[in-house]
Amino acid sequence: MGDPKSSSSAAASKAPHPPPPPPSQPSGSTHQPLSLVQPSNKKKNKQVKVFRVFRSVFRSFPIISPVCKFPSLPGGVLPDSHRSSVSANSVTGTLFGYRKGRVSLSVQENPRTLPTLVVELAMQTNVLQKEMSLGMVRIALECEKRAEKDKTKLLEEPLWTMYCNGKKSGYGVKRDASEEDLQIMELLKATSMGAGVLPGKSDVDGPDGELAYMRAYFERVVGSKDSETLYMLSPDGNNGPELSIFFVRV
């Protein structure tokens, strides 16, 4: 018989090693499961006819620059008294980004659906906040017209030249929604309208690591296959900031 100590050590060497413990996650990085659903993409002829009437009337209105004070709503939820003003052609738009990072625009059918469009804008979040505090903001995203046979839809363009209040600021880039984008939309699922900050990386970078967001309903106006505009809707009608986002082929 062999040495019992050597036998036990040999058996131990053949035994499978336990798996290493999972790496620890930084605070604030826990992901919750996504419950956002696919957009319906349904259109009704009656709604389109009403929308065309609205568009023709809307274009006859004078442009007014209201005071820019974004409403702070309890819990970020649109009150029932204002829900009737949200038309069938409105979408949910969310501007979000770290304070010293580039701001992104997410467009959803409603707060509970997956984004149909994500564009990274050529502007830092804190700069956009400053512009909106001064008054009306117009963001124009322009790209070159395509050949008639090209069937690329306007909002499928990958690259845009961006202007803010008439000043060129760089290039906006369309991208697929990242995991972080989807987590942000999931956290804001119960928010119809409002503005605030999410913790983000604040435990590492302090206030600059906070992720600021602003969410609102936007009226979607389709001028042609080469032009489309998102007009922000204010819940109180007049006291919200004026924000328009133009998508144009020129």
pLDDT at 234 (0 to 100)? 78
CB-hemisphere CA count at 13 Å for 61? 8
56-70, 76-90, 159-173: which is most confident: 159-173
pLDDT digits (tens, 9 = 90+) for 205-215: 666 778 999 99
Looking at the chain, the whole-number percentage of residues with pLDDT higher than 70 is 63
pLDDT-based confidence at residue 175 (cuts at 50, 70, 90): very high
Is 108 inside a domain boundary?
yes
Is 79 inside a domain boundary?
no
pLDDT at 111 over 50: yes
pLDDT at 22 (0 to 100)? 43
pLDDT-based confidence at residue 191 (cuts at 50, 70, 90): very high
pLDDT at 4 (0 to 100)? 54
End-to-end C-alpha distance for the chain, whole angstroms: 90
Residue 228: give the domain boundaries.
90-249
Is 77 inside a domain boundary?
no
Q: List b or e across 141-168, with b for residues whose CB sees 16 or more CB atoms inside 10 angstroms.
A: bbbeeeeeeeeeebeebeebbbbbeeee
pLDDT at 126 (0 to 100)? 92
Is 217 inside a domain boundary?
yes
pTM summary value: 0.71
Is 103 inside a domain boundary?
yes
pLDDT at 235 over 70: no
- Count structural domains, the chain: 1
Is 68 inside a domain boundary?
no
Q: Of the given ranges (53-67, 102-116, 124-138), which has the lowest mean pLDDT?
A: 53-67
**Residue 150 three-state SS:** coil
pLDDT at 41 (0 to 100)? 67
CA atoms 48, 52, 57, 60: torsion sign: positive
Is 61 inside a domain boundary?
no
Q: Enter the DSSP assignment of 231.
A: E
Compute the distance between CA of residue 121 and CA of residue 160 in angstroms, rounded to an integer. 9
Compute the distance between CA of residue 214 and CA of residue 188 in angstroms, rounded to an integer. 10
What is the pLDDT averaged over residues 53-69?
37
pLDDT digits (tens, 9 = 90+) for 1-60: 555 555 555 554 455 555 554 433 334 445 778 999 999 865 444 444 444 443 444 343
User: Are the CB atoms for 193 and 71 separated by under 8 Å?
Assistant: yes
Amino acid at 118: V
Compute the distance between CA of residue 205 and CA of residue 209 in angstroms, rounded to an integer. 5
Is 48 inside a domain boundary?
no
pLDDT at 169 over 70: yes
